[in-house]
Amino acid sequence: GWWALDVAGDLIRLPPEDDFERRPAGDILSSNLGDRMLTATRDGLVRMWIGPHLVSRRRLLFEEIASGEIRRLDWEQRQVIFEAARDAEDSGMLTRAIELYESLGRAEDIHRLISQREGADV
C-alpha cells in the first residue's frame, strides 16, 4: 500500500485497512519508492520507516554484530585469565595457576602443574 502525509502531519495508510491507522509523522516526507521512507518535523526529529523484510534483515545484522562482540570480549577475558595463570605459575603459586587453567579448560597445563607440584612435594 501507500502512505500519505496529510496537512496535519500524520501518515495515513492508503487504502485504509480495517484498523484505520494514523501515525504522527511530521512536516516533510521522502521515500525511495520501495521500502524506506523518511519523515521529519520542523523541530528536527527525523524518523526512518522501513519495510518488514528490512526489519528482519536488520535484526539479523545486529545479532551477528552482538555475537561477534561477545566472542571478542570472551577471547579478551580468556587472554587475561591465561596471563594470570602464567604469572601465578612463574610466582610458584601452582594451586592458583591450576585453578585458572581449569577455568580455561587447559587439561595439558593442569596435568603438567600437578606433576610438577607432586614432584616438589616428594
* Each residue's pLDDT tens digit, 65-94: 999 999 999 999 999 999 999 999 999 999
Q: So what's the pLDDT on residue 97? A: 95
For residue 21, pLDDT over 80 is answered with no
For residue 7, pLDDT over 80 is answered with no
Q: So what's the pLDDT on residue 51? A: 82
pTM of the model: 0.49
Question: In this predicted model, which residue has the larger pLDDT, 62 or 7?
Answer: 62
Distance between CA 57 and CA 50 in Å, rounded? 11
Q: What is the DSSP string of 48-92?
A: EEE-HHHHHHHHHHHHHHHHHHHHHHHHHHHHHHHHHHHHHHHTT
35-55: average pLDDT: 83
Q: 92 is written with which cell numbers?
A: 610458584
CB count within 10 Å of CB 97 equals 24
Q: Return the percentage of the chain with pLDDT > 70, whole number.
A: 86
CB count within 10 Å of CB 64 equals 10
Query: Which of 13-22, 36-45, 69-78 ranks highest by mean pLDDT?
Result: 69-78
107 CB-side CA count, 13 A: 0
Q: For residue 40, what pLDDT band results from cuts at 50, 70 and 90?
A: confident
